[in-house]
Amino acid sequence: QVRLVESGGGSVQAGGSLTLSCVASDTTYVGCMGWFRQDYSYDDRMGVAAIDRDGNAKYADDVQGRFTISQDNAKNTIYLQMKDVGPGDTSIYHCAAGRWCLEGRYLNRADFAYWGQGTQVTVSS
């Protein structure tokens, strides 16, 4: 079992920046980690960004160029640097971990077995 704990959420004004962090309890069998957003129900989580152990990253189209996912393997931690945020970025952001990042499926939530509780990000205009 891999436990994921997110932090860094909060309120920010449009145009501002925010960085989310996620610490994993164990990444021995984790080859892919990512961030998903939950706008409505938990079942509607959508991929925002994901990164594999080699540092290859994929992004959702609407965050490309504004968000950056990174990792610190020594700390079992990934980050999501959010820049130039807008009200549309308001959501609950969940950290997720899976065994592999599969080509063409980096943002497919079905490939992630472990999930954090989520951290709220609220962007005001």
The pLDDT tens digits along the chain (125 residues) read: 999 999 999 999 999 999 999 999 999 999 999 999 999 998 899 999 999 999 999 999 999 999 999 999 999 999 999 999 999 999 999 999 999 999 889 999 999 999 999 999 999 99
Report how far apart the first and last C-alpha atoms of the chain are (Å, whole number).
Answer: 40
Instruction: Look at residue 42 in the predicted model and tell me its pLDDT.
Output: 87
Residues contacting residue 41 through CB under 8 Å, at least 6 positions apart: none
Task: Give the 3-state secondary structure of residue 51.
Answer: strand
Closest CA to 121 of 2, 21, 30, 25: 21
Q: Which residues on neighbouring strands pair with residue 68, listed in sequence order?
A: 81
With tokens 């472990």, the residue in question is: 114
Burial class (CB in 10 A: 0-12, 13-18, 19+), 42: exposed
